[in-house]
Amino acid sequence: MLELRKIAVTGGLACGKSSVCRILEKHGAYVVSADAIVHRLLSPDTAIGQKVIELLGSTIIVRNHTLDRKEIARIVFSDPLKLRALEKIIHPAVLNEIQKRFQAVRKQGKFKLFVAEIPLLYESEGELFFDLVIAVTAEEEIARRRFQEASGRSEQDYERRMARQMPTQEKAARADYPLTNNGSLQDLENQMMPLLQELNLT
pLDDT tens readout for residues 7-39: 999 999 999 999 999 999 999 999 999 999 999
The predicted structure's pLDDT at residue 178: 96
pTM: 0.92
Average pLDDT over residues 155-160: 86
Write down the mean pLDDT value for the chain.
Answer: 92
Residue 65 has pLDDT above 90, yes or no: no
pLDDT at 202: 67
- What pLDDT does residue 62 have? 85
**What pLDDT digit, counting tens, does each position of 100-152 carry?**
999 999 999 899 899 999 999 999 999 999 999 999 999 999 999 999 998 88
pLDDT at 156 over 80: yes
What pLDDT, on a 0 to 100 scale, did the predictor assign at position 104? 96
Helices 80-108 and 47-56: angle between axes, nearest 10 degrees: 170
pLDDT of residue 164: 83
Which pLDDT does position 1 carry in this prediction?
47
Query: Cα separations (Å) of 66 from 33, 41, 63, 90?
Result: 20, 11, 7, 16
Would you state the pLDDT for residue 153?
84
Percent over 70 (pLDDT), the chain: 99
Alpha-carbon 71 to chain mean position = 20
Please check whether residue 42 is in contact with residue 56, taking contact to mean a CB–CB distance below 8 angstroms.
Answer: no
Q: What percent of the chain has pLDDT over 90?
A: 77
CATH number of 5-198: 3.40.50.300
**What is the mean predicted confidence (pLDDT) over 154-179?**
91
